Amino acid sequence: MSETVRLTVNGLAVEGSPAPRRSLADFLREDLRLTGTHVGCEHGVCGACTVLVDGRTARSCLLFAVQLAGAHVTTIEGLTPAEGLSPLQAAFRDCHGLQCGFCTPGMIVTAHELLAENPAPTSEVIRDAISGNLCMCTGYVNIVRAIDEAARRLRDGAR
Amino acid sequence: MTARADDGRWVGASVLRKEDARLTAGRGVFIDDLARPALLHCAMLRSPHAHARIVSVDVAAAAALPGVHAVLAGAEVAAMTQPIRPLIPTPVPLRDWCLAVDAVRYAGEPVVAVAAVDRATAEDALERVEVLYEPLEPVVDPERAIEPGAPLLYPEIGTNVLWHDVLTYGDVDGAFAAADGVLRERFEMQRYTSTPLETFGAIAEHDAGLDAYTFWTNDQRPGLTLSILAESLGVPQARLRLVTPDIGGAFGNKRRPAYLLVCALLAKKARRPVKYLEDRLENLTALMHACNGVIDLELAYKNDGTVLALAVRDIADEGKNLVTPAQHNLIKLGNIANGYRFGAIRYEPYSVLTNKCPTGANRGIGKPFMCFVVERAMALLARRLDMEPAELRLRNYVPPEAMPYTTPTGSQYDSGDYPATLRRALERFDYRRRREEQARGRREGRLLGIGIATSVEPAGTNLASYELITGRRAASGSAEAAMVRVEPDGQVRASIGDPASGQGYETVIAQIVADELGVTPAEVHVARGFDSATTPWLYLSGNYSNKFSVTDVGAVVGAARKVRDKLLRIAAHRLEVAVEDLQLAEGEARVRGVPGRGLALRELARTAYADVLGLPAGEEPGLEATHMHANPLAQPVDAQRRVRSQLVFSNAAHLTLVDVDRRTGKVTILDHVVVHDCGREMNPPIVEGMVHGSTVHGMGAALLEEFRYDEQGQLLTATFMDYLKPTALDVPDIRVDRLETPSPFTPLGAKGVGEGGAIPGPAAVANAVEDALAPFAVVVRSLPITPERVWRWMR
Amino acid sequence: MKPAAFSYERARNVDEAISALARDPDAKILAGGQSLVPMMNMRLARPSRLVDLNGIRELAAIAAAADGGLTLGAMVRHTELTTSSLVRERAPLIAAAAAHIGHRAIRNRGTLGGSIAHADPAAELPAVLLALDATIVVAGPAGRRRFAAGAFFVGLLTTELAQDEIVVGVEIPPSPPGWGFAELTRRAGDFAIAGVAGVLGHDGLARLAGFGVDDRPIRLRGAEAALASGDARAAGGAAAGEAHPADDVHASAEYRRHLVSVLTEAVVNDARERLAHAHGGARAASEAAAR
């Protein structure tokens, strides 16, 4: 029943033979052991499972791994440098933009897409961008501050 | 990278969190990230009926499905295990197992469990299970459930009421007789819950050779759970091990020993480890709701606004809660006076079973509703007496000079300046200018509203208070255990019986220990979570009712000081000075006033661990200490039925500005200010973050969140599409300011903060909406405030 | 929440997709998946086979039409509808409406064709297509069929699409210069409790469509007629009369009827303002040219 699917994950060629019904989220987490992407609802609302597919955010709980042949998938692991933290990650830490950390990978992936398209978003634009990512701990206040701070640092030339 | 606080200590400094490097990189380890060899996955078949007798269960076809390794149903469970011991026992013991045995009592109650090679296969197997039910009439409304003739969840006790009492403190009748007026009102609060983003789960592994079990789980009350597991499985606690990984939020919800038992039994049968992770539908349908209910309130007052007495009848809808019935009632009782000087209080609780999801601990656990009714009553009283709502409160607050103050029910407010807190909030909110804005808006046809709500926010629970319900004392007090160890390399390790779920304990504990031992937080490594094999722990250990700041801190400080004292004794011996001449600073024990004379911790550790002949006479080797701290504020219930059910009280004032769309009824929160006082803030950003988050949950309860059931007990809001959580666009920026009135009774002067804004948040928003709708003479008696409800009120 | 088992194939072109559907009556199309997959995860939908259209590039085209309108392929993503300069220019109502669909990650995958085929009565795009008098193009074993949008949505989650047909695209005629869009949701991105999309033309043309106010998107013809003689408020009042909304967990029928009148009025006002602006702009341009 399972055919081989070949895709690129975080820049590396990957192949697997997941059953058609295996979600991309489960494939990433269980088959590839990339557990940074989290599952919170499995119906596309909470945003914890957000990854980049061909550079655009997508709910990995609503994609089947077999659909991704030839696609480039980026997870939180792919947005983390080999050493240290990315400017976004550092800003989340510095602005206390996380508490339990479960929504954080999805938030960072979403923020990554936002800042790639809009290097100087207002706080309203930031709130709109993350409105599809639920957080139960922070009340969003420091998440908005973190993304704003990250935008500033990136504009100032942080790598 | 982080500076110390102004007084040179780490406690009080804005230390960046140690957890964040791994969490921002997606390197946290949550329960679903754990793999075990040959792991099986569990799925549970849940009752489609809210109330039914189980006639028969046929699992043969399910068991035969390839990939299925074990199946479990109620009959076997009843034979293999003892019933689950409740935290608060019912007057007559009601047997409850980890799967339904004779009957199902809420839609979603687990009936059969399957372990298979993956979750999808397990769910396929569930579709092959045949259960024959005989549906019974469900009871869904708590007031109906109290009436004679209502369907009974447990006919053997002849009632759905698990607790009914009348507790009278002070001369209530006299106060009402002397009053100039009585405000009477009925309020309702909806069912909602705390929905941590990570759902609850567990892995169980059975060692057949030892007949021992290991559990990995995001359970937030491991001390309690281990006790229940041992008793139900019939295995000594010494042969159980429970480990918690990173926990993705808990807020009281993360505890369900029944699910661990299911995994344990399946693991034993299948001879392979078994994981269960509830999906979101299961979480919303069947894990843990907060009690909805009805409160009838009578408030006796004088015409000058002085409040005299309060009489409250509280009907709490528990669903099928056999684990902690009446807990919401009890917690409400401890908070009932809010910040005011009531002379007399009568409280009549009903804890009522209905055919709905079990209730249990939640952010605020009962206090949001209690604060809602008192703060709504104050708002209504202010209108009735034509007084400024802030003035009315200021007139009635327990003043700072009266602290510590004991309320009629026995709660002790340890410290706090409630008037100053409110005044600061009014100032930060720019109250006068906002009122002018509101008046201008009214002239232009705009409906702006301002709401005030103030609250006391307790921390630490004294389990002795359960005696009010059960009539006997089984557990009592508030306690926690901690371990601190200087390792042979001079760095420090610590652990605590309270597993964090986002509160930053790894960082705050490091700050506390760093201060005691004269090192930096970077050199203190705090264990992630709980491990019963290595973490010291008590039955009372766990994460609940904000006890970290008020009880856990005592355990950490106590353990750190034992190690500190030993370090000083060893250093004194080696340096041949008196202990009093030494201090710990910058990683060494140094002689005061004599630069250069000191010994590094690493060197002292060498003596303690390796060169033990160098120890002072009578000193044991090693640099490790455990401390079990019992919070001395916890006392038994007294003869007048007064008790400190919660121990230390923070306070806050919330001011909200809302806009109500006159055409659609939609409410938008434009601005929200919080001034809070949680005593000494051990890490200000962490504190502020929890104020933000808990306040937003309060806003969600005010405007969005609601579990709705139909008359057959079917949950109509079982997904995140229908049970609405606030998003970043639904809530404004929240402006926070603080007072810091230390507690005189906690080791570091800190008080609790985690529940924070969840308590007054709903009242603040409700008061604001009512204020906006003043031209329509609306009274807000229930939540959530949906656009349609507002539209109907305006008509 | 794992779906029931199914087999999967990736169609390379429209004919392959149609053949796959014809072979298996329980097969379903996988486009964006943002509506289908949640239902599959909850086992409310159990297709035997998913036929994936995501590799068919020809279905994702956005093209200008000679008459001043445009054609949109079924696999155009909601995000592209909001960002495409062609769509924003020639069918601004579509761009505006699409921005209200879910959240960015949903819009990145969700498709126009999927929204049309799924036909949720509270969805934005079907109503917008009614207001724009669009033509929906479907393909099946017997070839292509074309439907006026108003004739395509026939019932609750039901369209004229046969089991072995797929939506391939939409033809949008030139958009009238006045347009408006308004919806009420509990939270941004949620399905609308009620909504209205409308266009107004210089020649008295008026098309108003409601969503969330019946079991399918509906033209508010009574409101359109009321506009000719009355004002925006009268149109709103008429709209309430022709809505037959449902009662559900989120709102009552009565409230929805109230909303449709409020939203109709708002849409008419916005459309009139845009119309006047366009009219004034056009006049200014022609006057300038005449000098």
Regarding whether A93 and A73 lie in a shared domain, the answer is no
Q: Does A96 touch chain C (CB under 8 A)?
A: no
- CB contact under 8 Å between A42 and C79, yes or no, is no
Do A9 and A55 share a structural domain? yes
Chains adjacent to B (≥3 CB pairs closer than 8 angstroms): A, C
A41 vs chain C: nearest CA distance in angstroms?
Answer: 9
- Last-in-domain residue among A23, A58, A79: A79
- Chain A: residue whose CA lies nearest to C2: A21
Residues of C in Cβ contact (< 8 Å) with A131: 103, 187-189
Greatest pairwise CA separation for chain B in angstroms: 87
Interface of B with A in 105-144 (CB under 8 A): 120
Query: What CATH number is given to the structural domain containing A116?
Result: 1.10.150.120
Whether chain A has a CB inside 8 Å of the CB on B3: the answer is no
Say which DSSP state B386 is in.
T
Report the pLDDT averaged over residues B145-166: 97
Q: Do B708 and C186 touch (CB under 8 A)?
A: no
AA identity, residue B399: P
Distance to chain C for B753, nearest Cα, Å: 28
Question: Do A91 and A74 fall within a single domain?
Answer: no
Q: Does B197 touch chain A (CB under 8 A)?
A: yes
Residue of A30, A137, A62, A53 lying closest to A92 (CA atoms) = A137
- Return phi, psi of residue B319, to 5°: 60, -150
Q: Provide the shortest C-alpha distance from residue C29 to chain A (in Å).
A: 13
Partners of A45 on chain B (C-beta within 8 Å) are 719-721
Two tokens, residue A22: 């295996």
For residue C126, give how far its alpha carbon lies from the nearest alpha carbon of chain B (Å). 21
Contact yes or no for B102/B54 (Cβ under 8 A) = yes
Cis peptide before A87 (omega within 30 of 0): no
Task: Please check whether residue B110 is in contact with residue B97, taking contact to mean a CB–CB distance below 8 angstroms.
Answer: no
Which residue in the set A21, A129, A132 is minimally distant from C6, CB to CB?
A: A21
Q: Which of residues 103-132 of B touch C (CB under 8 A)?
A: 118-120, 123-124
Q: Within this chain, do residues A22 and A70 fall inside the same structural domain, yes or no?
A: yes
Q: Which two three-digit tokens encode residue B771?
A: 């204020």
Mean predicted confidence (pLDDT) in A143-151: 98
Residue A35 and residue A57 in one domain = yes
Helix axes of B327-335 and B367-385: crossing angle, nearest 10 degrees: 40
Nearest to B664 among C1, C187, C259 (CB): C259
Inspect the interface and report whether the beta carbons of C33 and A62 lie closer than 8 Å: yes
DSSP strand pairing (B492-496 vs B479-486): antiparallel
Does residue A117 belong to the interface with chain C, where contact is any CB pair within 8 Å? no
pLDDT for the residue B282: 98
Residue with tokens 């939180």, as numbered in its chain = A76
Contact between chains at B716 and C4 (C-beta distance less than 8 A)? no
- Pairwise CB contact (< 8 Å): C5 & A132: no
Contacts of C5 in chain A (CB under 8 A): 1, 19-21
Question: Which chains would you list as touching A if contact means 3+ CB atom pairs under 8 Å?
Answer: B, C
Is the sign of the CA dihedral B770, B773, B774, B777 positive or negative?
A: negative
- A144 contacts in chain B (CB < 8 Å): 728, 733
Could you read off the pLDDT of C17-75 as tens digits, one per residue? Answer: 999 999 999 999 999 999 999 999 999 999 999 999 999 999 999 999 999 999 999 99
Q: What is the distance in angstroms between the Cα of B730 and the nearest Cα belonging to chain A?
A: 9
> What is the mean pLDDT of the segment spanning B106-121?
98
Distance from C-alpha of C190 to C-alpha of B172, rounded to nearest angstrom? 49
pLDDT of residue B91: 82
Question: Which residue in chain B is spatially nearest to C1 when comparing CA positions?
Answer: B279
Task: State whether A139 and B249 contact (CB < 8 Å).
Answer: no
What are the φ/ψ torsions at residue C147 (nearest 5 degrees)?
-130, 140
Kindly tell me if the per-residue pLDDT of B41 is higher than 80.
Answer: yes
Res B289: pLDDT: 98
Q: How far apart are CA A100 and CA A147, in angstroms?
A: 18
Inter-chain residue contact A135 with B197, CB threshold 8 Å? yes
Beta-carbon separation of C41 and A129 below 8 A? no
H or E segment and range at residue B653: strand B646-660
Residues 22 to 51 of C: which have CB under 8 A from any B CB? 42-43
Are the CB atoms for B596 and B447 separated by under 8 Å?
no
ipTM score: 0.98
Cis ω before B389 (30° cut-off from 0)? no
pLDDT single digits (tens) B679-692 = 999 999 999 999 99
Interface check B662 vs C, CB under 8 A: no
**What domain count does chain A have?**
2
Residue B251 structure tokens = 């807020």
Tell me whether residues B25 and A85 touch, CB distance under 8 A.
Answer: yes
**Residue in C186, C247, C259, C269 to test binding to B, most B beta-carbons within 10 Å:** C186
pLDDT confidence of residue C288: 63
Name B736's bridge partners.
Answer: B674
Please indicate whether, in this complex, the C-beta atoms of C249 and B716 are within 8 angstroms of each other.
yes
The answer to whether B546 touches B223, Cβ cutoff 8 Å, is: no
Residue C289: count other Cβ atoms within 10 Å of its Cβ.
7
Q: How confident is the model at residue B757 (pLDDT cuts 50, 70, 90)?
A: very high
pLDDT of residue B474: 87
A116 CB near a chain C CB, below 8 Å? Answer: no
Using the Cα atoms of residue C266, residue C268, residue C271 and residue C276 in order, give the sign of their dihedral. negative
Cα nearest neighbour of C4 on chain A: A21
CATH 3.30.390.50 residue spans of chain C: 178-285
Helix (H) or strand (E) holding B607, with range, is helix B601-609
Contact list in A for residue C106 (CB cut-off 8 A) is 44, 59, 132
What's the pLDDT at C229? 84
Query: From CA C159, how far away is CA C117, in angstroms rounded?
Result: 7
Is A136 close to B195, i.e. CB distance below 8 A?
yes
| Mean pLDDT, residues B596-622 taken together | 97
Q: Rounded to two decimals, what is the model's pTM?
A: 0.97
Helices of type H across B704-794: 761-772, 787-794
CATH 3.30.465.10 fits C7-51+60-172, yes or no: yes
Task: Note whether C41 contacts A42, CB cutoff 8 Å.
Answer: yes
A119, A155 contact by CB (below 8 A): yes
Residue pLDDT, tens place only, B436-452: 999 999 999 999 999 99
Same-domain pairing of A10 and A73: yes
Residue B198 phi/psi, 5-degree rounding, is -90, 135
Return residues 21-40 of A near C (CB < 8 Å). Answer: 21, 23
Q: According to CATH, where is 3.30.465.10 located in chain C?
A: 7-51+60-172
Could you give the 3-state DSSP secondary structure of residue C249? coil
List the domain range (segments joined by +) for residue A132: 87-155
- The total number of residues shown for chain C amounts to 291
Residue ranges of chain C with per-residue pLDDT less than 70: 281-291
pLDDT over 70 (residue A159): no
Q: What is the pLDDT of residues B212-244, one digit of tens each?
A: 999 999 999 999 999 999 999 999 999 999 999
User: Å from C172 to nearest chain B CA?
Assistant: 32
Q: pLDDT at position C289, please?
A: 58
Nearest CB partner across the interface for A101, out of B248, B280, B685? B248
pLDDT of residue B600: 97
Contacts of C41 in chain A (CB under 8 A): 23, 42-43, 61
Number of H-type helices and E-type strands within chain B: 21, 29
Does residue A48 share a domain with residue A95? no
| pLDDT of res. C290 | 59
The per-residue pLDDT for range B573-608, each reduced to its tens digit, is: 999 999 999 999 999 999 999 989 999 999 999 999
Higher-pLDDT residue of B359, B89: B359
What pLDDT is attached to residue B638?
Answer: 95
Using the predicted structure, report yes or no on whether residue B759 has a pLDDT greater than 80. yes
Q: Do A64 and C50 touch (CB under 8 A)?
A: yes
Which fold does the domain C178-285 belong to in CATH? Enolase-like; domain 1 (3.30.390)
Interchain CB contact of A44 with C (< 8 Å): yes
| B663 to C262: CB separation less than 8 angstroms, yes or no | yes
Taking the Cβ of residue C189 and every Cβ of chain A, the question of whether any pair is shorter than 8 Å is answered with: yes
**Residue A50: which CATH number?**
3.10.20.30
User: Which of B224, B291, B290 has its CA nearest to residue B260?
Assistant: B224
A127 and A148 housed in the same domain: yes
Pairs of residues, one from chain A and one from chain C, whose beta carbons lie less than 8 Å apart: 81
Q: For residue A51, list chain B residues with Cβ-Cβ distance below 8 A.
A: none
Give pLDDT, residue B754: 87
B708: nearest CA in chain C?
C249
Tokens of B138: 């469900």
Phi, psi of B19 (to 5 degrees): -65, -25
Tell the residue number behind the tokens 């600073």, with chain if given: B585
Q: Do A44 and C106 touch (CB under 8 A)?
A: yes
- CB proximity list for A52: less than 8 A, separation 6 or greater: A58, A72, A73, A74, A75, A78, A109, A112, A113
State whether A45 and A94 are in the same domain.
no
What is the share, in percent, of chain B residues with pLDDT greater than 70?
100
The chains found to touch C (3+ Cβ pairs under 8 angstroms) are A, B
The torsion angles phi and psi of B747, rounded to 5 degrees, stand at -55, -35
Question: B414 touching A, CB under 8 A?
Answer: no
Does the CB of A47 have a partner CB in chain C at under 8 Å? yes
Q: In what order do the strands lie in the sheet with A56-59?
A: A12-16, A5-9, A72-74, A50-53, A56-59
Mean pLDDT of B390-399: 98
